[in-house]
């Protein structure tokens, strides 16, 4: 084995041990509590955490090796508790590739959740609407994605203790959970459509030309997160669902084609939609618990 390969294998092993150190910390904090479903709350959606019964709040900065989010609207907390009688673990915020983290850091929390034995991974995010009918506040249930970030979290030496070398991505987004989401959205009177999420690396917003390209590729919404998490969660055998809330029309698709995209606008739109997203997440978890 060459020095280069040896170093890579050593790095993979080191990453595994860091994940397990975080797992041991969370298990010690949780005691006999064992979360079965995870929820990641994206930009401005932290209020949805108010639905957790008997919450135990853990500051992410206290968890060994847990990366710190520098993005606005990402509180950096881990919450243990119950929703609809199901044991859950909520992440208030995530880290992004554009923050300068390596992909292994971007999916660090996902790896921890997988090693904790989480069965379902439910992610929420803010997105730009590419589809002509989409506007701020609309909800899109992601049924597939396009990874346009130029990186993959599985790149490098394989770690057989958490996934195989070439995991299938055909059903990375659970058809069962998609059906649950659709039926619960209908019951709640929440308008929701299926769509494809395309991920760019950011942090600059996409250009109008990039959005035209994404539309030709079949994308419905665009963002800068989530895809690495789903790749890792799928590889670890978790059942995945993604609820994306449109924060604004993507570049060049607004009424004038010249609307300026801002961080403040995204957070404001997400805060306005938080109650509906939270209600849908809770309804989905209830269906999972009853199934």
pLDDT digits (tens, 9 = 90+) for 69-116: 886 655 689 999 999 999 999 999 899 999 999 999 999 999 999 999
CB-side exposure of 286: number of CA atoms within 13 Å?
12
pLDDT band at residue 2 using 50, 70 and 90 as cut-offs:
very low
Got the DSSP string for 25-89?
HHHHHHTT----EEEEE-TT-GGGGGG-EEEEEEEGGGSTTPPPP-STT---EEEEEEETTEEEE
Residue 274 is predicted with a pLDDT of: 86
Residues facing 57 on adjacent strands:
79
- Domain 3-290, CATH class in plain words: alpha beta
- To the question of pTM greater than 0.85 for the whole model, the response is yes
pLDDT digits (tens, 9 = 90+) for 112-161: 999 999 999 999 999 999 998 999 999 999 999 999 999 999 999 889 99
Residues facing 195 on adjacent strands:
142
Residue 46 is predicted with a pLDDT of: 65
């Amino acid at each position: 084995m060459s020095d280069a390969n040896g170093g890579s294998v050593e790095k993979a092993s080191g990453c595994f041990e860091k994940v397990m150190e975080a797992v041991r910390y969370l298990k010690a904090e949780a005691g006999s509590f064992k979360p079965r479903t995870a929820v990641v709350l994206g930009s401005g959606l932290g209020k949805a955490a108010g639905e957790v019964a008997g919450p135990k709040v853990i500051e992410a900065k206290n968890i060994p090796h847990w990366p710190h989010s520098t993005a606005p609207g990402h509180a950096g907390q881990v919450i243990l508790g119950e929703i609809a009688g199901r044991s859950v673990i909520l992440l208030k915020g995530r880290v992004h590739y554009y923050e300068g983290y390596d992909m292994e850091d971007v999916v660090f929390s996902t790896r921890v959740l997988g090693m904790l034995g989480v069965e379902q991974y439910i992610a929420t995010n803010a997105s730009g609407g590419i589809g002509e009918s989409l506007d701020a506040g609309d909800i899109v249930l992601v049924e597939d994605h396009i990874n346009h970030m130029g990186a993959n979290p599985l790149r490098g030496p394989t770690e057989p203790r958490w996934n195989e070398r070439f995991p299938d991505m055909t059903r990375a987004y659970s058809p069962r959970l998609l059906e649950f989401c659709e039926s619960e959205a209908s019951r709640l009177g929440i308008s929701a459509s299926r769509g494809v999420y395309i991920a760019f690396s950011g942090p600059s917003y996409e250009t109008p030309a990039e959005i035209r390209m994404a539309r030709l590729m079949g994308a419905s919404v665009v963002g800068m997160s989530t895809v690495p998490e789903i790749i890792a969660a799928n590889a670890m055998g978790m059942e995945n669902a993604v609820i994306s809330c449109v924060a604004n029309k993507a570049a060049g698709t607004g009424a004038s084609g010249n609307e300026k995209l801002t961080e403040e606008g995204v957070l404001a739109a997400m805060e306005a939609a938080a109650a509906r997203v939270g209600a849908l997440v809770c309804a989905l978890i209830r269906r999972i618990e009853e199934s």
